[in-house]
Amino acid sequence: MTGFDLLSFALFIGLDVGKTEHHATALSRSGEKVYDKALPNDETRLCALLAELTTAHGPALLVVDQPATIGALPVAVAQQADNVEVAYLPGLTMRRMADLHAGSAKTDARDAFIIAETSRTMPSALRQIAASDEQIAELAVLSGFDDDLLGQTTAARNRLRGLLTQIHPGLERALGSHLHHYGVLDALVTWPTPQKLKTAGRGHVRNRIKKHNPRLAERITEAIFDALDAQTVVVAGTGAAATIVPILAGQLKDLYSQRANVLEQVDALVEAHPLHQVLTSMPGVGVRTAARILTEVVGKNFKTAGHLASYAGIAPTTRRSGTSIRGEFANRGGNKRLKSTLFNSAFASLHHGPSRAYYDKKRAAGKTHKQAVIALARRRLDTLYALLRDGTFYQEPDNARGSSGHALAA
């Protein structure tokens, strides 16, 4: 997070971005409104507007309310324009600033004015946008698509497990935790009901599973037929399940294949990034965690590790009001994608000595498992911040003394 020098700009342009058109409001340093119009989400018009305004008034600061997705084009155009710097105003800050202005209307023109006025009067509320990094941009697109695929995968898997539970609970218990194996999904596509599995017989089912999962085939096949022997009645709806089960199983196979292809590209981009070895040198940080850190942290300026922790939503929130409310509470805000990544990374690091010692210390102090992991994630973030700031590799505490490396203090 950083402030901007107001004296560097003659004009402050607030851009409320939209899918098909934006609304731009430009204010002079004294607060005079010199432009207030809608314009299409078009490179030519954006370039012409910036050239016109900077020629007439001087250097400008363009501020958007969304730096990615629908705001990506104006950000890219502004970064290439002469005499223009670009920043963004976070959504939560935007809403709070809107409350300070008279009126409750929600219009593009009002939002653009609030963005411009905030940039003119409170530059410390803005966030810088670094020059475009092609690797980071590609990682953001791929990681976002992988998030979508993960959501679809979870929904399809839950739907399939629910359907199996309805027609044959024992079969769901046998297969529910193995629906990420292609062999199991292939068997369900081929024999989608308990009756069809029984008719196929152990040998055929075992051979079908063995094509994809040879080491699991025998155990899973035995579990399937033990479950089939335990239920003799046919539940209503089993006939319809014969249509739906193979569709869901096929969707899961396709989704797993798509995720594998996307993650292969993510892995290649992360490994090619200069910070790859710095990030993965820290216990609990793998390629996918590194990808999320690169897309959510790199390119943004944080003065301290505390600022980064607040941005991620893992710093506790202090609440005090007289004698009735006093203490620190869990932060419900922040970047949820980054927060989830840091939590999972901290959990994965529990096999690491210093991390485990810090976790055990918090548990001994009466913290729940989740609270202890969040505390560990916050402690690890101090180290991660130092690694990114200095470009140094993680070093174990016993080896870090007298060196330029950084270690997680237990």
pLDDT of residue 170 exceeding 70, the answer is yes
Looking at the structure, tell me whether residues 127 and 18 fall in a common domain: yes
Provide the pLDDT for residue 395: 87
End-to-end CA gap in the chain: 28
Looking at the structure, tell me whether residues 126 and 151 fall in a common domain: no
Domain count, the chain: 3
Question: What range does the domain containing 393 cover?
Answer: 276-400
pLDDT of residue 57 exceeding 90, the answer is yes
Q: Is residue 305 situated within a structural domain?
A: yes
CA distances from 326 to 317, 330, 368, 371, 374 (A): 11, 13, 20, 19, 21
Provide the pLDDT for residue 315: 80
Provide the pLDDT for residue 403: 42
Looking at the structure, tell me whether residues 313 and 242 fall in a common domain: no
pLDDT tens per residue across span 140-168:
899 889 999 999 999 999 999 999 999 99
Provide the pLDDT for residue 366: 94
Q: Look at the block and give the residue holding tokens 């292969």.
A: 264
CA distances from 13 to 74, 98, 175, 277, 363 (A): 12, 17, 58, 40, 50
Looking at the structure, tell me whether residues 202 and 303 fall in a common domain: no
Rounded average pLDDT over 365-393: 93
Provide the pLDDT for residue 409: 41
Looking at the structure, tell me whether residues 142 and 229 fall in a common domain: yes
- Structural element, H or E, at residue 49: helix 43-57
Domain end (from 243, 268, 293): 268
pLDDT tens per residue across span 11-51:
999 999 988 899 999 999 999 999 999 988 899 999 999 99
- CATH classification of the domain holding 22: 3.30.420.40
Q: Is residue 18 situated within a structural domain?
A: yes
Q: Helices (DSSP H) in 62-193: which residue ranges?
A: 72-80, 91-99, 108-121, 134-167, 169-175, 182-190
pLDDT of residue 407 exceeding 90, the answer is no
Looking at the structure, tell me whether residues 128 and 143 fall in a common domain: no
Mean pLDDT of the chain: 88
Cα maximum dimension of the chain: 84
Q: Is residue 409 situated within a structural domain?
A: no
Looking at the structure, tell me whether residues 231 and 125 fall in a common domain: no
Looking at the structure, tell me whether residues 25 and 99 fall in a common domain: yes
- CATH classification of the domain holding 209: 1.10.287
